[in-house]
């Protein structure tokens, strides 16, 4: 018997010529189509589309009554509809033996939108409910609004203080538990504002930080800097005053780390303790729903997002707006192709033009980096049926209910409190959900509705996030992480009934009921990341660059000693070291949990912490387990960024100090495990040596953690004994990095040390942007008149020892360390100025400062001061290196917990 069409698929709108399969349909399955029964010629995966009417070549394919592609050839009812990008994505995934088409039968078609001003008609306002409902919230003084939570926030003003606020928050957790009136003490650590130079995104960063500080969910706030960053406390304070942010209505302080990290931690704790009684005394009161500002977001979207999850979120916000609340939609690039839907119901012509203007601005920014809107969909999107940006957008914009009028258009993190009647608001922002959320929270949103098809688990530190799943199957798989099941609608329930139940959950959450994510206890922040291009002038040259070939630079012979020449080469002793699987010396045996994207980083961290607490692997010679937190792997565009991630991940997985490694995916990122496995195999790496886990596909956080621990328990038992043999210290790979121009004497000392390592068969790695490579004694001693050139790409594992320059494309301290470690550095020797810098969670980072920095750099935050005496300094450095490699001392940054990890976007990477 043929299967009824409605039993196996959904049509988003009547008249669509393609349907969405609500289950996997094997080739040969007979479907009762409008044109009659037909056996499917190919397997149709769940969430993918097949034709339900004949489509001639050149005709549009339609979902939600709007076009998303153009047929390349005649498409018969029952045919799997596929474009090239989707087929390429599926080729790298495990599809369970699905019989798939060999060729695409449609091409993407993102037609330009034309606003017909002559026929434009303003839409009526949303009618108000009577009586309006209320919720229990925290009424803040002045015009700060109403909070749904009561947190103390610790804000790293720039990326340089990210590790500090994390350390301070960890130190204060026992205090938070003693005050039940406080929802928590949370760090807001981010990646922006810490470069040496003015970032292009400084307006976005300042608006976001200012919004965090005065947010109604914040009962008190501490902002921390060093005072020398491009985005500093002084600049933020001036911005708050100029923008008339109500900062005086918040218990707050601005702390600059000027006497060392330990003293600053003590002062930070003193300030927080002084606020605890006042913040804990805050009480909820009955407040109108007009106090709710609801952020609408989606992540890990699938084909059902626009059918169940997004329409449910739209219905909830429509009802909230009837009661006076505000809804905020963002993801500018995920509105491209859906302009017709967005502008069917808009306040006035000026608002329509403002909306289209934001889309045009975003397109221009994409063009500066050689990108288009098609850079947005992830591998997870395409695997789950969102073939292109038009399909993704057509579903995404249904977070705006068709009954809801678009009232206002604002910039990223522009304050909502300045709007007299915001209603449904569109905020310019990226499709990257975490970066979009930061802007929505900065604007003042105090509740987040997050729609997810795959099951995204991310949360914001001080704003509750309600997760809405699109299908019952995925909701059940991730029942501990998800809050609302929109799949009930797909299962046959009326949307009105699902919305009514969910609206009660929304009000209860705003009134203090904790979400699944809040129970899980993990969160992260990512502000709209900086972009490096501001026009297309450099694009041809950047695209024409030749990749480094991996050949080290030739080094000049050692000069004959003279009165002004470099000091005598220091003696670097031999030390007992083990060997890695590839025969290279290893200074540690590390277990690595490598998160493939930002959304699995917190789970990787939790896994490492749990295994270290258990002492897992010590009996087998593992020194520790490391898990990184970062903001990459999803929500970006640009082929160069894909290449960078695959290179760098390979560098870490094959690092000589890594004895056992597992890749932990979220499940819907742009570089999922299947894709990484493919690229590793293509590079000749044995993928069977690694563990593989998925937060989403393995059934949520707890099950993924259990799988990670079980793999490591089995793996470390198979490791060979850590036999040690005397190895010359000069044979290691040492990264050099400086934070400021270097005095000539120090440069000569570093050059002499580098020559010692190179003559011993070791490797010296420097970032391309490092000041040591500018004209001066270091460069002259090693290279003479030869101009340095990049020999390794960022994160590329080195194959030949020698002097290597890494094409980092960044001057961000932590991003450079991340790339150097990926290239294979065993440890880093760095020269700092003004203040200590952050270290690396896996790479020991020795920090020294020149004698003139005494009084500016805290002695307790670094490993040594140089004296200016070449012989003494050479001896000091050699002893430090030897003691660190032998684990006789721990570098200062690691002792203080001042470590961070961040991948660069490079010159052409961009948030999408």
Convert the pLDDT of each residue in 363-416 to its tens digit.
999 999 999 888 888 877 888 889 999 999 999 999 999 999 999 999 999 999
How many C-beta atoms surround the C-beta of residue 750 within 10 A? 28
Whole-number Å distance between alpha carbons of 213 and 462: 12
> Is the pLDDT score of 905 beyond 60?
yes
> Is the pLDDT score of 773 beyond 60?
yes
More confident residue, 741 or 446: 446
What are the distances in angstroms from CA 890 to CA 497, 746, 845, 883?
60, 23, 10, 8
What are the distances in angstroms from CA 637 to CA 338, 628, 873?
20, 22, 45
> Is the pLDDT score of 94 beyond 60?
yes
> Is the pLDDT score of 619 beyond 90?
no
Q: Which two tokens stand for residue 342?
A: 């967005």
Q: Within 13 Å, how many C-alpha atoms sit on residue 223's CB side? A: 26
Strand order in the sheet with 252-256: 184-188, 151-156, 218-225, 252-256
Give me the helix-helix angle, 639-653 and 813-822, nearest 10°: 60
> Is the pLDDT score of 571 beyond 90?
no
Q: Could you check whether the bond before residue 131 is cis, i.e. omega within 30 degrees of 0?
A: yes
| pLDDT computed for residue 421 by the predictor | 80
| pLDDT computed for residue 435 by the predictor | 97
Whole-number Å distance between alpha carbons of 788 and 810: 16
Whole-number Å distance between alpha carbons of 373 and 362: 9
More confident residue, 409 or 637: 409
Mean pLDDT value across residues 853-862:
95
> Is the pLDDT score of 568 beyond 70?
no
| pLDDT computed for residue 560 by the predictor | 67
DSSP state at residue 327: E
> Is the pLDDT score of 794 beyond 80?
yes
The string of pLDDT tens digits covering residues 732-751 is: 999 999 998 899 999 999 99
Whole-number Å distance between alpha carbons of 529 and 546: 26
| pLDDT computed for residue 176 by the predictor | 84
Angle subtended at Cα 767 by Cα 582 and Cα 852, rounded to the nearest 5 degrees: 120
The three-class DSSP label of residue 851 is helix
| pLDDT computed for residue 570 by the predictor | 72
> Is the pLDDT score of 620 beyond 80?
no
| pLDDT computed for residue 28 by the predictor | 96
Whole-number Å distance between alpha carbons of 10 and 245: 48
- Hunting for tokens 């769940």 — which residue is that? 46
| pLDDT computed for residue 214 by the predictor | 98
| pLDDT computed for residue 479 by the predictor | 94
| pLDDT computed for residue 65 by the predictor | 93
Contact 225, 166 (CB under 8 A): no
Whole-number Å distance between alpha carbons of 872 and 467: 60
| pLDDT computed for residue 618 by the predictor | 79
As a whole number of angstroms, the longest Cα–Cα distance in the chain is: 96
Contact 61, 17 (CB under 8 A): yes
| pLDDT computed for residue 566 by the predictor | 55
DSSP element (H, E) containing 876: helix 870-885
Q: Which of 259, 168, 169, 193 is nearest to 814 (CA)?
A: 193
- Residue 11, beta-bridge partner list: none
Percent of the chain scored above 90 by pLDDT? Answer: 87
| pLDDT computed for residue 478 by the predictor | 95
| pLDDT computed for residue 375 by the predictor | 84
Left if phi > 0, otherwise alpha if psi is -120 to 50, otherwise beta: which for 561?
Answer: beta
> Is the pLDDT score of 565 beyond 60?
no
Strands (E), 580-722: 585-586, 590-595, 624-627, 636-637, 658-665, 691-694
The string of pLDDT tens digits covering residues 679-688 is: 999 999 999 9
Chain mean pLDDT for the chain: 94
| pLDDT computed for residue 558 by the predictor | 81
Contact 441, 295 (CB under 8 A): yes
Mean pLDDT value across residues 671-682:
94
Whole-number Å distance between alpha carbons of 430 and 437: 9
The string of pLDDT tens digits covering residues 277-303 is: 999 999 999 999 999 999 999 999 999
Q: Which of 127-136, 712-721, 833-842 comes out lowest in average pLDDT?
A: 712-721
| pLDDT computed for residue 92 by the predictor | 87
- Exposed, middle or buried by CB within 10 Å (0-12, 13-18, 19+), for 706? middle
User: Can you give the three-state secondary structure of 749-792, one letter per residue?
Assistant: HHHHHHHHHHHCCCEEEEECCCHHHCCCHHHHHHHCCCCCCCCE
The string of pLDDT tens digits covering residues 146-205 is: 999 999 999 999 999 999 999 999 999 988 889 999 999 999 999 999 999 999 999 999
Q: Which residues does 781 contact at the CB level (< 8 Å), separation at least 6?
A: 556, 559, 566, 748, 751, 752, 755
Q: Within 13 Å, how many C-alpha atoms sit on residue 419's CB side? A: 24
Percent of the chain scored above 70 by pLDDT? Answer: 99
- What is the value of pTM for the model shown? 0.96
Q: Which two tokens stand for residue 77?
A: 């009812």
Determine the straight-line distance between the first and last CA of the chain, rounded to whole angstroms.
46
The confidence band for 317, taking pLDDT boundaries of 50, 70 and 90, is very high
For 176-195, the DSSP string reads HHT-TTS-EEEEE--S-S-S
| pLDDT computed for residue 528 by the predictor | 97
The confidence band for 563, taking pLDDT boundaries of 50, 70 and 90, is low
């Amino acid at each position: 018997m043929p299967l009824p069409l409605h039993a196996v698929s959904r049509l988003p709108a009547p008249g669509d010529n393609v349907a969405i399969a609500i289950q996997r349909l094997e080739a040969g399955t007979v479907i009762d189509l409008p044109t009659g029964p037909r056996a499917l010629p190919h397997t149709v995966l769940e969430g993918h589309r097949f034709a339900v009417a004949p489509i001639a070549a050149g005709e549009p394919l339609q979902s939600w009554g709007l076009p998303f592609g153009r047929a390349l050839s005649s498409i018969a009812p029952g045919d799997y509809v596929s474009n090239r990008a989707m087929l390429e994505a599926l080729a790298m995934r495990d599809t369970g033996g699905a019989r798939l088409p060999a060729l695409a039968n449609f091409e993407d078609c993102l037609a330009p939108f034309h606003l017909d001003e002559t026929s434009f008609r303003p839409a009526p306002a949303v009618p108000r409910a009577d009586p309006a409902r209320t919720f229990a919230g925290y009424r803040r003084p002045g015009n700060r609004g109403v909070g749904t939570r009561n947190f103390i926030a610790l804000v790293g003003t720039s990326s340089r203080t990210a590790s500090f606020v994390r350390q301070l928050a960890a130190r204060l957790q026992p205090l938070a538990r003693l005050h039940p009136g406080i929802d928590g003490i949370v760090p807001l650590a981010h990646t922006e504002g810490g470069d040496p130079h003015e970032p292009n995104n400084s307006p976005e960063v300042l608006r976001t930080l200012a919004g965090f500080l005065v947010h109604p969910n914040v009962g008190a706030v501490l902002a921390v800097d060093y005072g020398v960053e491009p985005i500093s406390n002084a600049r933020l304070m001036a911005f708050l005053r100029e923008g008339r942010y109500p900062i005086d209505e918040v218990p707050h302080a601005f702390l600059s780390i000027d006497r060392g990290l330990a003293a600053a931690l003590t002062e930070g704790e003193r300030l927080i303790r002084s606020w605890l009684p006042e913040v804990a005394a805050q009480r909820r009161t009955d407040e109108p729903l007009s106090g709710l500002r609801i952020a609408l977001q989606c992540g890990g979207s699938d084909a059902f997002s626009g059918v169940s999850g997004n329409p449910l979120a739209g219905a909830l916000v429509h009802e909230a707006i009837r009661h006076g609340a505000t809804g905020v939609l963002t993801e500018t690039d995920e509105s491209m192709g859906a302009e017709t839907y967005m502008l069917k119901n808009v306040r006035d012509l000026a608002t329509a033009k403002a909306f289209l203007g934001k889309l045009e601005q975003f397109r221009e920014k994409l063009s500066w980096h050689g990108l288009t809107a098609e850079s947005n969909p992830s591998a997870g999107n395409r695997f789950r049926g969102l073939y292109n940006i038009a399909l993704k957008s057509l579903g995404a914009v249904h977070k705006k209910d068709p009954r809801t009028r678009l009232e206002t258009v604002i910039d990223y993190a522009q304050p909502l409190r300045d709007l007299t009647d915001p209603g449904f608001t569109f905020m310019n922002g990226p499709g990257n959900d975490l970066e979009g959320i930061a802007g929505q929270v900065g604007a003042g949103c105090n509740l987040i509705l997050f729609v997810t098809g795959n099951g995204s688990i991310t949360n914001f530190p001080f704003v509750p996030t309600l997760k809405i799943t699109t299908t019952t199957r995925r909701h059940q798989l991730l029942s501990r992480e998800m809050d609302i099941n929109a799949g009930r609608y797909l299962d046959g329930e009326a949307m009105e009934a699902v919305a009514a139940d969910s609206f009660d959950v929304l009000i209860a959450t705003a009134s203090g009921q904790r979400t699944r994510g809040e129970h899980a206890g993990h969160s992260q922040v990512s502000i709209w990341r900086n972009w490096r291009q501001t026009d297309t002038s450099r694009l041809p040259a950047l695209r024409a660059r030749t990749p480094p070939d991996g050949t080290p630079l030739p080094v000049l012979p050692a000069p004959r000693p003279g009165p002004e020449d470099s000091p005598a080469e220091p003696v670097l002793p031999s030390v007992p070291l083990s060997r890695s699987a590839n025969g290279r010396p290893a200074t540690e045996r590390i277990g690595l949990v490598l998160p493939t994207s930002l959304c699995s980083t917190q789970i990787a961290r939790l896994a490492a912490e749990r295994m270290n607490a258990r002492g897992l692997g010590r009996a087998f010679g593992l020194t520790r387990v490391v898990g990184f937190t970062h903001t990459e792997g999803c929500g970006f565009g640009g082929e160069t960024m894909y290449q960078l991630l695959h290179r760098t991940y390979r560098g870490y997985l094959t690092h000589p100090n890594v004895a056992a490694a597992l890749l932990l995916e979220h499940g819907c990122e742009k570089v999922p495990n299947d894709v990484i496995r493919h690229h590793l195999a293509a590079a000749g790496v044995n993928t069977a040596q690694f563990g593989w886990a998925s937060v989403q596909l393995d059934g949520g956080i707890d099950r993924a953690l259990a799988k990670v621990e079980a793999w490591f328990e089995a793996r470390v038992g198979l490791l060979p004994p850590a036999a040690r043999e005397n190895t010359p210290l000069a044979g290691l790979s040492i990264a050099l990095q400086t934070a400021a121009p270097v005095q000539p004497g120090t440069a000569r000392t570093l050059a002499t040390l580098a020559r010692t390592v190179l003559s011993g068969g070791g490797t010296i790695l420097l970032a391309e942007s490092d000041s040591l490579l500018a004209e001066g004694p270091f460069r002259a001693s090693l290279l003479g008149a030869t101009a340095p050139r990049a020999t390794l790409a960022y994160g590329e594992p080195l194959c030949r020892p020698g002097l290597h320059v890494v094409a980092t494309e960044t001057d961000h301290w932590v991003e450079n360390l991340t790339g150097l470690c990926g290239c294979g550095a065993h440890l880093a020797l760095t020269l700092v100025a003004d203040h200590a810098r952050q270290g690396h969670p896996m790479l020991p980072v020795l920090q020294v400062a020149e004698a003139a920095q005494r009084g500016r750099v805290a002695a307790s935050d670094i490993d040594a001061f140089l004296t200016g005496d070449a012989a003494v300094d050479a001896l000091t450095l050699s002893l430090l290196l030897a003691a660190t490699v032998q684990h006789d001392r721990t570098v200062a940054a690691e002792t203080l917990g001042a470590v961070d990890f961040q991948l660069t976007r490079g010159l052409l990477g961009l948030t999408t």
